[in-house]
């Protein structure tokens, strides 16, 4: 009994935040909700943590219904919202004590579960939360979300605004929590983090584009994909955007990711077109699609 979402819809006035969303998260799964800002991720988290009521559809968390059993859900889940989950004027230790107290427990009682994470911020336990770095705030917020031993953990964009090293450490912590039997639903706008989940749902504009294991998601990208580079990135993108055979083009690190409308594409033809456009140092090679490519294609 993990999380079950069936045909959930939610609008704010004229804005449709979620449109007929269905998904299921298996017990013990690390499940990613992947999508850009405004995709509807926070709205879904708020519905599942019983802070918001959906307009339509049903949802259960560990078998409890979000409407009729909301009290049981609140006792058995941990929620780390994207922003403002900590009391900035309380110290690290006071924040943790506060969250433990409202759930009728103590830091000592559940220390085992948070130990790995908390030891890293314990040296700063007398520092106010408002004065912590992004990575430290994130560790404290996770400790607070875990202090009552939840069965399910909801993490809304936990790595947004966090440096790459702390992001990596954070995902390692999530893997360890998963091994302790906690079901985790995590949202992120970072496509590279998607590959670290057992399963992912790609979401945009309140709709699910695709659900699968990360490896299989890239299998949904069917066109040959090319890495193209040249002396001037800006005019490379502009030229390819205006090329009559272009199907898709977008910047990808030091390259442009390109697909062609034609069944059989002629690399030399593109090269000579780009030379005509005044570009030099042109390199074109086939490449493997990433989750980001698949997302862009499905969102088209």
Residues that bind ligand ATP (CB under 6 A): 12, 15, 17, 35, 37-43, 157
CB of 202 to ligand ATP, least distance (A): 12
CB of 295 to ligand ATP, least distance (A): 14
Which residue, 91 or 187, is less far from ligand ATP as judged by CB? 187
Asked if residues 152 and 185 have their Cβ atoms less than 8 Å apart, the reply is yes
Which residue, 83 or 262, is less far from ligand ATP as judged by CB? 83
CB of 63 to ligand ATP, least distance (A): 25
Which residue, 38 or 130, is less far from ligand ATP as judged by CB? 38
Look at residues 115, 119, 111, 113 and name the one whose alpha carbon lies nearest to residue 180.
113
CA dist., res. 66 & res. 248, Å (int): 41
CB of 66 to ligand ATP, least distance (A): 16
CA torsion 90-95-100-101 (nearest 10°) is 10
CA dist., res. 133 & res. 135, Å (int): 6
Which residue, 43 or 138, is less far from ligand ATP as judged by CB? 43
CB contact burial 207-236 (16+ within 10 A = b; e otherwise): bbbbbeebeebbebbebebbbbbbeeeeeb
The residue with tokens 């090269």 is: 271
Look at residues 189, 160, 175, 169 and name the one whose alpha carbon lies nearest to residue 81.
160
Asked if residues 62 and 74 have their Cβ atoms less than 8 Å apart, the reply is no
CA dist., res. 117 & res. 158, Å (int): 14
Which residue, 20 or 227, is less far from ligand ATP as judged by CB? 20
CB of 134 to ligand ATP, least distance (A): 16
CB of 133 to ligand ATP, least distance (A): 21
Asked if residues 40 and 194 have their Cβ atoms less than 8 Å apart, the reply is no
CB of 157 to ligand ATP, least distance (A): 6
């Amino acid at each position: 009994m993990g999380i079950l979402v069936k045909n959930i819809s939610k609008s704010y006035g004229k804005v449709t935040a979620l449109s007929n969303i269905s998904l299921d998260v298996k017990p013990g799964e690390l499940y990613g909700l992947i999508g850009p800002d405004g995709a509807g991720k926070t709205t879904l988290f708020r519905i599942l943590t019983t802070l918001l009521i959906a307009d339509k559809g049903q949802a259960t968390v560990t078998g409890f219904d979000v409407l009729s059993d909301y009290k049981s859900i609140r006792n058995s889940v941990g929620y780390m919202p994207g922003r403002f989950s900590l009391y900035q004027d309380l110290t690290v230790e006071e924040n943790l004590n506060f969250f433990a107290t409202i759930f009728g427990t103590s830091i000592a009682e559940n220390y085992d579960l948070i130990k790995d994470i908390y030891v890293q911020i314990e040296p700063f336990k007398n520092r106010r939360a408002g004065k912590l770095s992004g990575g430290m705030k994130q560790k404290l917020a996770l400790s607070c979300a875990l202090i009552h031993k939840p069965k399910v953990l909801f993490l809304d964009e936990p790595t947004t605004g966090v440096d790459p090293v702390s992001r990596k450490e954070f995902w390692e912590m999530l893997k360890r929590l998963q091994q302790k039997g906690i079901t985790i639903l995590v949202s992120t706008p970072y496509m590279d983090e998607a590959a670290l989940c057992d399963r992912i749902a790609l979401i945009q504009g309140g709709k699910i584009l695709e659900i699968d294991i990360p490896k299989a998601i890239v299998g949904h990208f069917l066109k040959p994909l090319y890495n193209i580079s040249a002396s001037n990135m800006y005019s490379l993108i502009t030229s390819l955007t205006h090329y009559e055979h272009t199907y898709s083009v977008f910047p990808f690190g030091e390259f442009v990711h390109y697909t062609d409308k034609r069944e059989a594409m002629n690399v030399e033809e593109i090269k000579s077109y780009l030379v005509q456009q005044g570009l030099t140092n042109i390199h074109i090679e086939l490449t493997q699609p990433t989750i980001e490519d698949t997302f862009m294609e499905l969102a088209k």
